[in-house]
Structure 1
Amino acid sequence: MRAIDGTIELRKDEPTMQLFASSLRISLVLMLLCGVVYNLAATGIAQTLMPHRASGSLIEEDGRIVGSELIGQTFTEPRWFHGRLSSIGYAADGSGTPNYAPSNPDLLERARQSALDWQAANPDVPLSEVPLDLVTNSGSGLDPDISPQGARVQIPRVSAATGIPQAELEQLVERHTAPRRLGLFGEPTVNVLELNLALREAASK
């Protein structure tokens, strides 16, 4: 705004430039706070309080990273405990699974084929004893855990393939069964990778 000969002249470019400068400053400050300071603070706190989880809950064996507690792996040989089905092959960069309705023919066919595959690989265990988590996909396709019953029904096959007595495998499953969180939340689970690492150690004795 400028006075000329007693009159008032408005200059429209001045408020516009001031608004642009203010917006730019606010944007830069927010980018610094939210994009740099917050992330560094959150990472630093996580690495200090829970370094294992903050680094991806990685599992090491003999100093070598063999997997993560959070992402399943494919085990198909009879001597291993098998995890849940995964439509994406446990590819962490493509999490997800076909979102079929219960009435979808493709889902029914997939479940039927899963049941047939189970019967072929585990002829000593009736299909009626198999929990659903072994013949259905998880929502993410990455689930690393199975139910304790899902591990127990595989014991006859694993015992026959490894020569480890079933009673010893029962104890192995029991030792690697995680209880409900705080005794209340969720269900007991067995991490398949950790169980198979313990199985390999037991088989080498």
Structure 2
Amino acid sequence: MKAHIFPAIRLTLVCLLFFSGIYTCIVLGIAQFAPNKGKGELVLQNGKAYYVNLGQKFTDDKYFHSRPSAVEYNAAGAGGSNKGPSNPAYLATVAERIDSFLVHNPGIRRSDIPADLVTASGGGLDPHISVQAANVQVKRVAKARAMAEGNIQQLILSCTEKPFLGLFGTERINVLQLNIALDNLK
């Protein structure tokens, strides 16, 4: 019995020291090289600070709408809904989101709605939408702001982020940055 207990205690102490001390310091040291020293990127708009890397809720028709959040955009409780695609409650939630989207975007066919506008991400705080999700909202935003659709299309192009190293991921748009750029248009 002693032959098993003492090694287990030693391993526990080594893991405790490594994961609560050394590993934490390594991650903190690496974060110092990140933008804003790992504290997240802040943007000031109209006297209010926003985190660029967290999803925000936009419901006004003059703004591009974000991806839905399973946690109501609460960063303290990030996470998905944990409901599968065959769950009746999940399907009802998605159906409600589709109906709401169609009310705010008349003339759009159900089949033209990108999935990222009616389904929440795994973490519930995704700040990005696809380029298709932005394009499908152009008519609503242009009408609400009395602007030409072409100007808004140009803004979408200028705010589009390319895949990492041109290979990893897809083109995407940070909704907060797009909406701030939209507010700054004259």
TM class by shorter-chain length?
0.7 to 0.9
Aligned to 2:180: 197
Partners of 2:91 and 2:24 lie apart in 1 by 45
Match of 1:43 among 24, 28, 33: 28
Q: Between Structure 1 and Structure 2, whose CA radius of gyration is higher?
A: 1
Aligned to 1:145: 128
Cα–Cα, structure 1 residues 53 and 198, in superposed 2: closer, same or farther, change >3 Å? farther
Paired residues of 2:45 and 2:180 also in contact (CA < 8 A): no
Structure 1 segment 18-97 matched on structure 2, within 5 A: 27=13, 34-36=19-21, 38-47=23-32, 49-52=33-36, 54-56=38-40, 58-61=41-44, 66-97=49-80
Q: CA RMSD in A?
A: 2.4
Runs (5+) with no aligned partner, structure 1: 1-18
Partners of 2:46 and 2:126 lie apart in 1 by 25
Partners of 1:118 and 1:63 lie apart in 2 by 27
Letter aligned with residue 120 of structure 1 = V
Cα–Cα, structure 1 residues 45 and 96, in superposed 2: closer, same or farther, change >3 Å? closer
**How many equivalent pairs are there?**
178
TM-score, normalised to structure 2, is 0.84
Residue 197 of structure 1 aligns to a residue in which SS? helix
Partners of 2:98 and 2:19 lie apart in 1 by 49
Residue 57 of structure 2 aligns to a residue in which SS? coil
Give structure 1 regions of 4+ aligned residues with deviation exceeding 3 angstroms.
29-42, 62-65
Identity value in percent: 37
Q: Which structure has more RCO (C-alpha within 8 Å, separation ≥ 6)? A: 2
Letter aligned with residue 164 of structure 2 = R
Partners of 2:139 and 2:35 lie apart in 1 by 38
Runs (5+) with no aligned partner, structure 2: 1-5
Partners of 1:41 and 1:104 lie apart in 2 by 42
